[in-house]
Amino acid sequence: MKKWIALILVLLFLVFSSSATDVCLFSHGMRFIEEAGSVTFLPLERQTEFSEPNKPYDGPMVALTFDDGPSKRVTDRILDLLEKHSAKATFFVLGSNVEAYPDKLERMLELGCEIGNHSYDHKNLPSISREAVEYQLETTKWCTYEACGSFPTLVRPPYGNVDDKVLEFSELPIILWSLDTMDWKSRNTELIKKIAINKVRDGDIILMHDIYSFTADACETIIPALIKKGYKLVTVSELIEAKGFTVSAGEEFSRGR
Ligand SMILES: [Zn+2]
């Protein structure tokens, strides 16, 4: 009888020690693949070929863009929402507002957002002189650099209005939009949400303004809703690259499709 007990104990020991070996293999970063009944263990360095971590994202994406800021309260509210949802956006800033609220720009860059030049004080560029256009764009470029140590990477002329002299002085791609939420016109949170959420399409560049509290109210719903619909929220330059476009200085771009 003692022999039987001893035999059972030995068998139990063997079973537990073999499962402990499995645990040990996994805890040392091994993975296995099971193919036609045979199990093969792979070392960590070969796991990358299965997870493809460097594969570029090619799913649906949109670029939220915010013009006319930065502003005292609304810009931070929008940045808070972007941070909360791990999303990015592009801010087309006015040089005059950058001078007033320079600290907002550093936070934009910290969150991976992009900064574009929207002129110094929102002049309609085709209606002013060549020298004035140059002043509007150059001053804002240097205000931005002073505020955050980086130059703007894109230009959006006020009202989307462009003429030959704007093209000539723009050292950067000129970014327009494909979906206008009309926040500046309707001033209505529900309408802004409806347009952004119901009319969005893959590759859209969505126009909003980070100077209105009703726009920030709408973004509280818009940002999570777009993510839930499967859209990645990227910067304009990320959208251009991911969708396979190349946009040169002085060239207009309004949608990633
Ligand atoms: Zn504007």
Active site (annotated) includes residue 85: no
Residue 40 vs residue 98, higher pLDDT: 98
pLDDT at 52: 57
- Is 56 among the domain residues? no
Question: Cis ω on the peptide bond leading into residue 60 (within 30° of 0)?
Answer: no
Q: Tell me the pTM.
A: 0.79
Which residues have CB less than 5 Å away from ligand 1 (the ion)? 67-68, 158
Residues 74 and 25 in one domain: no
- Is 161 among the domain residues? yes
pLDDT at 5: 57
Residues 28 and 84 in one domain: no
Q: Which domain holds residue 230?
A: 61-253
Residues 92 and 216 in one domain: yes
Instruction: Provide the domain count of the chain.
Output: 2
For residue 152, how far is the Cα from the chain centroid? 16
Output the average pLDDT for the chain: 86
What is the CA(177)–ligand 1 centre distance, in A? 12
Residues 14 and 115 in one domain: no
Q: Which one from 68, 183, 204, 209 is the annotated catalytic residue? A: 209
Residues 117 and 159 in one domain: yes
Active site (annotated) includes residue 67: yes
Q: CA of 240: how far to CAs of 1, 85, 98, 176, 234, in Å?
A: 78, 22, 26, 13, 10
What is the CA(68)–ligand 1 centre distance, in A? 5
pLDDT at 4: 59
Residues 150 and 108 in one domain: yes
Residues 188 and 86 in one domain: yes
Q: How confident is the model at residue 106 (pLDDT cuts 50, 70, 90)?
A: very high
Q: CA of 24: how far to CAs of 149, 215, 241, in Å?
A: 49, 54, 43
What is the CA(94)–ligand 1 centre distance, in A? 8
Number of other CB atoms surrounding residue 189 within 10 Å: 20
**% pLDDT > 90, the chain:** 75
Model confidence pLDDT, tens digit, residues 140-171? 999 999 999 999 999 999 999 999 989 888 88
Residue 235 contacts residue 109 (beta carbons within 8 Å): no
What is the CA(98)–ligand 1 centre distance, in A? 14
Boundary-marking domain end, from 14, 31, 51: 51
- Is 179 among the domain residues? yes
